[in-house]
Structure 1
Amino acid sequence: MNAIDNSKIQDRDISLGLLLDFLAGTKDSPLVFHYDGRPVNPGYHVTEVKAGEFAALDCGANPEAWREIFIQLWDIEEGDRTHMPAGKFYAIIRKVTEHVKLDGSARLTFEVSDGVRPMQLYCAAMPVLRGGTVHVELAPRPASCKPRDRWLAEETRRAEACCGPTSGKNACCA
């Protein structure tokens, strides 16, 4: 089994606001999500958009709280359909905001299933416009240990602060 580098996943984890900002300028372009090494089928549907507020206790007994938006994609093939235009996806999300409060800065999670296999959770990378098509890479959302993640982030911050440009006597990396 391959280990997943959580720092790379977090770099790829965009918010709904960032996704919509990008799509606003590409409304006529087909929107293609990619997961598990392949693109979604041209007939995919956005079957549900939901927002949640969560409160939890992590494995270090630290309280956690966050907002998350889930977009459910049903990856099916339907007749002669093409991939959904970015503008249609944008309009679906805007329609949801008429009934559900969506925080544009909230964590964004995609739930994807072909209707046969169980739903899987994915985070999204920043969209890319290539050949007139908007591509969004979805990566599996792994479990993580938040206290360990915080410790690693602090160690990285310290190493970058210490080993960055130095001046005079303050050289901690030799």
Structure 2
Amino acid sequence: MHMSALDNTKIHNDDISLGLLLETLAAASELPLVFHYDGRPIKAGYHVTEVKAGQFAGLDCGANPEAWTEIFVQLWDVEEDSRAHMPAGKFSGIIGKVSDHLQLAQSAKLTFEVSDGVRPMQLYCASLPRLRDNAVHVELAPRPASCKPRDRWLAEEGRASAACCAPVSSKSACCA
């Protein structure tokens, strides 16, 4: 397997969708899949303990209606005797089996829930699957809170930073 086997040109340094992760993993299905979080790799015996799909609707802090689909993949970070990291194809197969039952939207926001069974579960987003050391490595970054009106304004303005609930147009939105 060469470095060019994984097409990272479609992957950005922020959240990736379920479909994009699975599409990327398909290029290296036989290789071990190693997630990294909190500055370390997940243990070789990790399990995918649950996959959930949710349809969400709400109002953001600027009173704008929001609706989205989100997929939660729960990882249990445990060591088991003589187990190696799960192959990327096995992970994709687990998700595929769940998708058959739940009709998972490939464009859905992807969230990882990770715990070692002792520490509380933490939320992460996935970014940049990379091939190195004959394995596929996926960095999980803590999922921060965000202000959607501010995020939309920043995207429109192309600005790097602004105060929470910055103007969406000529008027200001206000955090409640």
TM class by smaller structure: 0.7 to 0.9
Segments ≥4 residues shifted beyond 4 Å: none
Separation in 1 of the partners of 2:102 and 2:149?
A: 32
TM-score computed with the length of structure 1 as normaliser: 0.82
Taking only the aligned residue pairs, the percentage that are identical comes to 74
Name the amino acid aligned to 1:135: H
Q: How far has the Cα of 1:131 moved from its partner?
A: 2.0
Q: How far has the Cα of 1:126 moved from its partner?
A: 2.3
Q: How does 1:19-38 map to 2 (within 5 A)?
A: 19-38=21-40
Aligned partner of 2:105 among 69, 92, 103: 103
Aligned partner of 1:40 among 33, 39, 42: 42
Separation in 2 of the partners of 1:63 and 1:97?
A: 27
The unaligned stretches of length 5 or more in structure 1 are: 1-9, 158-174
Separation in 2 of the partners of 1:54 and 1:98?
A: 21
Partner of 1:52: 54
1:18 equivalent to 2:20? Answer yes
Name the amino acid aligned to 1:12: D
For the aligned residues, what is the CA RMSD?
1.2
| Secondary structure in structure 2 of the residue aligned to 1:79 | coil
| Secondary structure in structure 1 of the residue aligned to 2:151 | helix
> How many residues are aligned here?
148
Aligned partner of 1:154 among 136, 153, 156: 156
Please say which structure displays the higher CA radius of gyration: 1
Name the amino acid aligned to 1:51: A
User: Which moved further from structure 2: 41-50 or 142-151?
Assistant: 142-151
Separation in 2 of the partners of 1:21 and 1:126?
A: 12
Q: How far has the Cα of 1:22 moved from its partner?
A: 1.1
Separation in 2 of the partners of 1:127 and 1:11?
A: 10
Name the amino acid aligned to 1:131: D
Check conservation: 2:33, 2:135, Cα contact below 8 A.
Answer: yes
The unaligned stretches of length 5 or more in structure 2 are: 1-11, 160-176
Separation in 2 of the partners of 1:98 and 1:63?
A: 30
Separation in 1 of the partners of 2:91 and 2:127?
A: 16
Separation in 1 of the partners of 2:32 and 2:70?
A: 26
| Secondary structure in structure 2 of the residue aligned to 1:60 | coil
